[in-house]
Amino acid sequence: MSTLFAIGTDPRFGSPTVAAAPVTQKDCCPRRPSRRQPRLPHRTRRTCGAHGPRPTQAGPPASSFQTTREKDTVKARSKIFATSVMGTSANALNSHSVRKGASAVAFGLAVLATQGLGTPPAAAASIPPGSVTVVAKSSPVNTLATKVPFRADCPAGQRVLGGGAFTVGGVHAVITEMQPIHTASGDSFEVSAAADQFGISVGWNFQVFAFCASVPATLGVEIVSQTNAPTSGATDQTSAQCSTGKQLIGAGGKIANGNGQVDLGIATNASGSFANRSAAIAKEDADGFAGNYTVTGYSVCARPTAFGDFQQVKTQSNTTAASQKRSLSCPSGLRLTGLAGNTAAPGTHLQEIAPLTTTAPNIASFGAQSSVPQNGPWTMETTVFCAK
């Protein structure tokens, strides 16, 4: 078929006509023999084709010099070519040409979109990379049974996203408050702690951790709170729901008037990667509490720039020992913005819920202890809030 294309004359396929070297009778054949030489018999007479054409210089197009026989040959072959192409194969070729043309158009549009219009830029991170930092503060060391609330303040212009705490006072030191605070003068994270009814005879204190960052106003960062009525029940909890379209990036809670005998736990409403509500959980210790206490829950909520920008990682661990400890990290590329955790059995409570680093934090440490012997395994639930 390639030979037919080479000599074909149909211009739709763009195949050039084969150009033959200019041929003339003078160049092709030798001089006729003189009359004095005998003529060869007709059946053995040599023709110019037997000698082949002599080399010639380039001249006008070959079509001007085609002999009658060459024209007849080309015409016959062109007719055969036209019959084979325009007959039974015409539809196949036309279909192939359409498909090829469509592919060329699609490719051209793709090139135009890439080069002419440009690919759309990737969505910016909800919280700029590297902007999350941790402000850590330590409360004064003393023997007071109930500690004065102590705060870690965010730098001017930054928002508090969440926080954590770490008591340094032994098994009878109980965390009673972890509260994110937003005011016109600035943001902070506040922690309170108290000794249970057994007391602490030596000086003790606690640490406060505030997760802070400069965030775009489009995230709409807000702190949602919910407070229950006073109760004397063995347990109580209250939840704070994020606004529509927003997700949790941090959480907190507070127990008022629990005298160290009601510990604080924090949990979320989802077991998967996304949550939009947190709960503050109050739990009396092993021998109960006779007074009334109040529980308040706090949810730090924000609107992600893109799906997956805000995630939570949650896990549980069990032990029969007097204490347990574990670490939990954010997925690759995400940074810590807040923490949550709780224990289930009466007489058990969190001691540590804190980041391991203060710069670009992505891993947290959790610790809990039991002030009384337990009859079986007891559970600690831990959660990290992560963002990019």
Q: Look-up: residue for tokens 């080479």?
A: 6
Cα 69 to Cα 16, 66, 179, 362, distances in angstroms: 21, 8, 104, 88
By C-alpha distance, which of 62, 75, 84 is closest to 13? 84
Question: Of 215, 200, 166, nearest to 325 (Cα)?
Answer: 166
In eight-state DSSP terms, residue 232 is -
Pairwise CA distance, residues 322 & 52, whole Å = 109
Direct distance between the N- and C-terminal alpha carbons of the chain, in angstroms, rounded to an integer: 61
pLDDT of res. 359: 87
The percent of the chain in helix, strand and coil, each rounded to the nearest 5, is 20, 40, 40
Asked if residue 305 lies in contact with residue 125, where contact means CB atoms within 8 angstroms, the answer is: yes
Q: What pLDDT sits at residue 190?
A: 98
> What crossing angle do the helices spanning 90-111 and 68-86 adopt, rounded to 10°?
80
Residue with tokens 């770490």: 166
The pTM of this model reads 0.69
Neighbours of 90 (CB within 10 A): 12
Q: Output the DSSP codes for 328-383.
A: EEPPTT-EEEEEEEEE-STTEEEEEEEES-SBS--EEEEEEEESS--SS-EEEEEE
Alpha helical stretches, state H, the chain? 2-7, 25-28, 48-51, 68-86, 90-111
The full length of the chain comes to 388
pLDDT recorded at residue 131: 87
The low-confidence residues of the chain, meaning pLDDT below 70, are 1-124
**Interval 152-179: pLDDT, tens:** 999 999 999 999 999 999 999 999 999 9
pLDDT for residue 109: 42
The reported pLDDT for the residue numbered 373 is 93
Residue 130 confidence (pLDDT)? 77
